[in-house]
Amino acid sequence: MWNLNCHYCQAHLQAYIDGELSPKARRRVSQHLDRCPTCYNAYSQRRDFSRELQQAIPLVGQGGTPHFKQMWGAIQAELPQPQPRLYQARYGLVLLAFALMLIVPFTMGHRKISLTPPSPPAPELLAKYETPDVTEPVMIATIAASITVESEQKSATQLPTVPEPRHQESLRGMDGNTN
């Protein structure tokens, strides 16, 4: 007699055959199959047909000889190709530039190129080119006065009409000369 358990069993029969039921559900279906000949008969037929399908369906498509090599060729053509190694060319350019830096001075004037750093100047030369101490005010005034006199002489001979600049007057005052 068809009952709720039969309904439950039929609904889960395929999953039971495929081994996809939870242990609890599996136990329930199994217990029902032991008691119900109708459901067991359905189970038996379905199980046999499932086995047949498991063997029959994988054979579909196996008879022909697909062009796997040709397909692979087409796939390869569409694959992203690995980038060429540009760094080798880059290193080549750097080497070329370095070689030019060495060769060009030889070709222009045949001058020797010294790769050693220049030697430091002798102590006497250092003393000669040492800058004088001009921080004292008296020295500054003397130098300023001499510059003023020279500039006045030049301006008197070359540009008599141009007025004297103010700072020269102040310098004159410092010197005590009232020309």
Partner 1 sequence: MAEIEKIITRCLNGDQEGFEALYTQFASGIYRLCYSLLLHRQDAEDVTQETFVYAFKNMQRYDARRASFKTWLYTIAISRCRNQYRRKHPLLMDIAQLLHFDVPGPKSETPEGSLAEQNAKDAVETALASLSPRLREAVVLRYGHGLTYREIADVMDCPQKTAESRVRLAHEALRGLLQPVGVGLLDELLSG
For every residue of 102-136, DSSP letters joined together read HHHHHHTT------SPPPPPPHHHHHHTPPP---S
Nearer to partner 1, 51 or 154 (CB): 51
Nearer to partner 1, 67 or 154 (CB): 67
Residues that bind partner 1 (CB under 8 A): 13-15, 18, 20, 45-46, 49-50, 52-64, 66-68, 71-72, 74-76, 78-80, 82
Structure tokens at 160: 């008599």
Place of tokens 């006045």: 152
Give least dist CB 11 to partner 1, A: 8
Give least dist CB 65 to partner 1, A: 10
Give least dist CB 106 to partner 1, A: 45
Structure tokens at 65: 């000889």
Nearer to partner 1, 28 or 46 (CB): 46
- The amino acid occupying position 1 is M
Do 160 and 133 contact (CB within 8 A), yes or no? no
| Residue 58, number of CB atoms within 10 A of its CB | 9
Nearer to partner 1, 46 or 172 (CB): 46
